[in-house]
Amino acid sequence: MLAQAVRRLALAIPTLLAIVAAAFVLMHLAPGGPFTKERQVPPEIERRLEAEYGLDLPIGQQLLRYLVGDEGRGGLIRGDLGPSMTYKDKNVGEIIAEGAPTSAILGFSAMALALVIGTFLGVIAALRQNKGQDYLVMAFAIAGVCLPPLVVGPIMQLFFGVEWQLLPTAGLHRDEYGLRYLILPVFTLSLPIIAVVSRLMRASMIEALRSNAIRTARAKGLPERQVIWRHALPIAMLPIVSYAGPALAAVMSGSFVIETVFALPGIGKQFVLAAQQRDYTLVMGVVLIYSFLIILLNLAADLTYRALDPRSRTA
């Protein structure tokens, strides 16, 4: 298992390189650049600016420069993500270091909350298949994916924040991650994930309960609670493990809507603004983080899958 993990990590390097190259080229295909603004800059100055950031070079050379750097700049291989093209006094590394913790905390908490609630709801629905509780849980689950966070967020702010004065509606208190400030954004972010997890859980739990392993466990005379939580749950968790890996990468690399609605300083907001303003280096930085998380968490999901799947234990 360890050997395979090492091999997969080694394979990740060429994959990451391919992603960087693909994103880099795509990004530069889009018309306009970071210095084409509404306020017209004299063309001479624009050219000087572009030369300063190496934007006048052919695309291949720009990519090479981004990867290995040149005099004065480290390049990606030395961990230098380059200077931002819209925040003149900041490096991409610094911008991401400021925003990433917020996005990561939000995403991770939302996923954790969704896994707990979603699993629980899914198991209940599966045990009461085609009965009242099942329909209730599933109606809630489907409704969870039917309203986008850009609507749910403001509604929660209105009720919990303005009408009932229970929770703060936006921001962070003195830039600290106080629990009260995280409840609404985390819950809003986790609603769609709860919906997906509980649906997956319901389907795979129903299947698991029909399996021979569970029939054996029941035949042995184990108490029903133990059959469900100790024997059926690990089997039923498998599809959720494969879902949760990439989904965690997606929520941890920031959500534009949540960060905008709740005025939180994360990288999701930075990323969308950067893409619209053609801040090439900042966009590449966030893409890189996302891709890295995807690869890492997919690997983690596969390893967890193996650990949980009883069939792979003897192999």
Partner 1 sequence: MSDILIDDAPQPQAVKGRSLWEDARRRLMRNPAAVTSLYVVAILVLIAVFGPVLWVHKYDTIFRDSVAIAPTWKNMHLLGTDTEGRDMVARLILGLGISMLVGLAATVVALTIGVLWGAIAGFIGGWLDDAMMRFVDVLYAIPFVFFVIVLMTVVQFDDPVLNLVLIFCAIGAVEWLTMARIVRGQTLSLRQKEFVEAARAAGAKPLQIVLRHIVPNVVGPVVVFATLNIPVIILAESFLSFIGLGVQEPLTSLGSLLSYGKDQMTTAPWMLIAPAVTMLITLLALNFLGDGLRDALDPKER
- Measured CA to CA, the distance from residue 184 to residue 150 in angstroms comes to 13
User: Which is nearest to 254 in space by CA: 93, 94, 112, 104?
Assistant: 104
Cβ contacts of 267 within 8 Å, gap of 6 or more: 95, 96, 99, 100, 102, 103, 253, 254, 286, 289
- List the one residue from 208, 252, 287, 301 that touches partner 1 (CB under 8 A): 287
- List the one residue from 30, 45, 51, 116 that touches partner 1 (CB under 8 A): 30
Residue (62 or 253) nearer to partner 1, CB? 253
In the bound complex, what is the minimum distance in angstroms from residue 230's beta carbon to partner 1?
A: 26
Stretch that binds partner 1, among 1-9, 63-71, 154-162, 215-223 (CB under 8 A): 154-162
Residue (66 or 271) nearer to partner 1, CB? 271
- List the one residue from 115, 257, 264, 282 that touches partner 1 (CB under 8 A): 257
Residue (109 or 260) nearer to partner 1, CB? 260
Per-residue binding letters, 293-312, with partner 1 (x by CB under 8 A): -xx-----------------
Q: Can you say how many angstroms the Cα of residue 65 is from the centroid of all Cα atoms in its chain? A: 29
Does residue 68 touch partner 1 according to CB under 8 A?
Answer: no
In the bound complex, what is the minimum distance in angstroms from residue 150's beta carbon to partner 1?
A: 5
Does residue 290 touch partner 1 according to CB under 8 A?
Answer: yes
- List the one residue from 22, 41, 68, 307 that touches partner 1 (CB under 8 A): 22
Q: Can you say how many angstroms the Cα of residue 198 is from the centroid of all Cα atoms in its chain? A: 19
Does residue 253 touch partner 1 according to CB under 8 A?
Answer: yes
Residue (231 or 278) nearer to partner 1, CB? 278
Does residue 184 touch partner 1 according to CB under 8 A?
Answer: no
- Count of residues in contact with partner 1, rule CB under 8 A: 40
In the bound complex, what is the minimum distance in angstroms from residue 250's beta carbon to partner 1?
A: 8
Residue (18 or 307) nearer to partner 1, CB? 18
CA distances from residue 192 to 27, 69, 122, 152, 159 in whole angstroms, order as listed: 30, 41, 14, 11, 20
- List the one residue from 148, 171, 178, 310 that touches partner 1 (CB under 8 A): 148
Residue (23 or 182) nearer to partner 1, CB? 23
In the block, residue with structure tokens 């572009």: 50
In the bound complex, what is the minimum distance in angstroms from residue 249's beta carbon to partner 1?
A: 9
- List the one residue from 41, 51, 112, 147 that touches partner 1 (CB under 8 A): 147
Does residue 275 touch partner 1 according to CB under 8 A?
Answer: yes
Q: Which residues here bind partner 1, judged by CB under 8 A? A: 15, 18-19, 22-23, 26-27, 29-32, 142-143, 145-148, 150-151, 154-155, 158, 162, 246, 250, 253, 256-257, 260, 271-272, 275-276, 283, 286-287, 290-291, 294-295
